[in-house]
Structure 1
Amino acid sequence: MAIDEETRNTIISLMQNGLDDHEIGNQLDISPYTVRAVRAHITMGTYGSSPTKSEEYIEAEEIRFGLEKDLQQALRRNIKQLEPGLSIIDNGKEHNTDAGFIDILCKDDADTTVVIELKAGQANDTGIAQTLGYMGALKEEGIEKVRGIIVAADFSRRSKFAVKALPNLKLVRYGFSFVFEDATL
């Protein structure tokens, strides 16, 4: 969904007032992922370039975030496939911390809180920093035993090296398996 310039300007104004992506999305009746795409667009400094490029960029971001949302829903339905013993503790919605929204929050068999971060495409070292930020925010909330799992289609080489130094963070590559059934009447 492409957004018009007026909506984009309203989003920017609300961002300047300190509202987060979910609050802005609720107020404007748009997806928080659209807001996040505009935020990324501004951060990358592409705002103000040709409208066609802006709209294409926002659409591409919405598709990526849509895929992450689909991945999140599928994983929530099949969390034990990620790791036996995991149980979701976030009441079916992203958990809000001072560092941002955790995609899925779980507990494992050892009563350790598990932060699960999802990336639709390739994850890089910023995904690691994001996950570590969530883990640190939970520790600030008084949760002592915390670890993280990043689920992505693939990982940058640098992120694979970084995780070698982080025993409480794991990288997991996802894939798809299709099941077909006849739906003819």
Structure 2
Amino acid sequence: MFNKVVLVGNLTRDIEMRYTPLGAAIGSSGIAVTRRFNASSGEKKEETCFIDITFFGRSAEVANQYLNKGSKVLIEGRLKFDQWSDQNGQNRSKHSVYVESMEMLGSNPQSSGNFGQNHNQKQNQNYDPYETREAKVSQARPTQNYQEEKIKEIDIDDFDDDKTELPF
């Protein structure tokens, strides 16, 4: 089985930190992911999905230090299905994401700490989740084959059989 989620969006609230009795950090927040599309009528629409996310360990501490409400972030993690009964005895459920890695995107003037402009510019790369791996690989390939440049053509008619040894 494979359970992997990649989301790019903005945090909906500041990171809420708590610690286990053994001292492990757990950070909770939410992310808003907006999808823009053209409806069948030609009208431009957008749809926003709000998802709870949970950071663990050092990631939680880093997220708490550098991110706050409105921060743009790319997260990778696994989808978790939570079920519980509310105060009225009704069964409730929701999906959330347990973050395994994150990348801070863009600049956020509200952020605190030493998350400076140089780091923001480095992290603010145009991320296209729909770009295929093959497209990236083909862009990285040189236009001429590496080994073709090293091979010299030899015309064997230029060699005299008695005097010159063929190079192969």
Larger relative contact order (Cα-Cα within 8 Å, sequence gap ≥ 6): 2
The structure whose Rg is larger is 2
Query: Which TM class, normalised by the smaller chain length?
Result: under 0.3
Normalised by the length of structure 1, the TM-score is 0.21
Name the one with the larger helix percent. Answer: 1
Normalised by the length of structure 2, the TM-score is 0.22
Name the one with the larger strand percent. Answer: 2
